[in-house]
Amino acid sequence: MSIGLLFGVMILHLIPDAFEDTNAALESLGLSTVYPLPSLLIGSGFFLVTLVEVMVSFHNGELHDCDNMFEHSTSVNGIYTMVFGLSAHSLFEGLAVGLQSSAADVWLLTAVIMIHKCLFALIMGISALRTLTVTQSAICLFVFSISSSVGVAIGTIIEAISEESPKMDLTVGVLESISTGTFVFVVFMELVPKGMDLHAQDALKTVVLVMIGFGIMAAFQALDLISG
């Protein structure tokens, strides 16, 4: 169901908001273009996270697969690279949360992020404890644990400042679009490939749960429009 929720958040909320906020900021600055700038920025965010993931995988000599991280991420440098990659990933996710303008959106995104981030924390924690000292492992886990919060703080500050400056509105739109690319990556490169095996025996059950998650998000979006 978490796949459907995050898919719904991305399709029904983050992408439309990125387009609306970026285009509105351009108009407030007297700028207009027929080029789909938000789409370019979302794609840039996707490839930014993809490059980080590829560098982490290349350094570890493996593809980024949650099932084999336990066995292959044994070098000290490999653990540090993993921490950097996952922390950068979490920073942009937190940034997306901080850029939201309503409390309901903040809590919804926070809940969805926590669901899929728990697995990463478990994998990285066990890998670190197998390779590093207890102190080093604690430092790595601390860095990873605060990365999302740092992103939220940055996004919140930028969102607050943007109310006083059209240029900051554009900054919010740009960062919002880039961070949305992070969620595109999470959905299509991590959750869908690993959580939706259409050839498995319980594939129908999985698809139904994903559809339920998406339906829940669609209902929330409809209620938000009605109440607004």
Give the start-to-end residue ranges of the domains of the chain.
2-227
Task: At 207, list the tokens.
Answer: 């698809």
CA-to-CA distance for 33 and 20, rounded, in angstroms? Answer: 14
pLDDT of residue 64: 46
Residue 123, pLDDT above cutoff 50: yes
Mean pLDDT across the stretch 133-157? 86
Mean pLDDT across the stretch 153-175? 76
- Three-state secondary structure call for residue 30: coil
pLDDT of residue 71: 44
101 — phi, psi (to 5°)?
-100, -10
pLDDT in tens, 105-114: 778 777 777 7
CA-to-CA distance for 64 and 81, rounded, in angstroms? Answer: 12
pLDDT of residue 70: 42
99 — phi, psi (to 5°)?
-85, -5
Number of C-alpha atoms within 13 angstroms, CB side, residue 101? 15
pLDDT of residue 119: 64
CA-to-CA distance for 194 and 189, rounded, in angstroms? Answer: 8
pLDDT of residue 69: 43
CA-to-CA distance for 34 and 43, rounded, in angstroms? Answer: 17
* pTM check: above 0.85: no
CA-to-CA distance for 141 and 180, rounded, in angstroms? Answer: 25
pLDDT of residue 81: 64
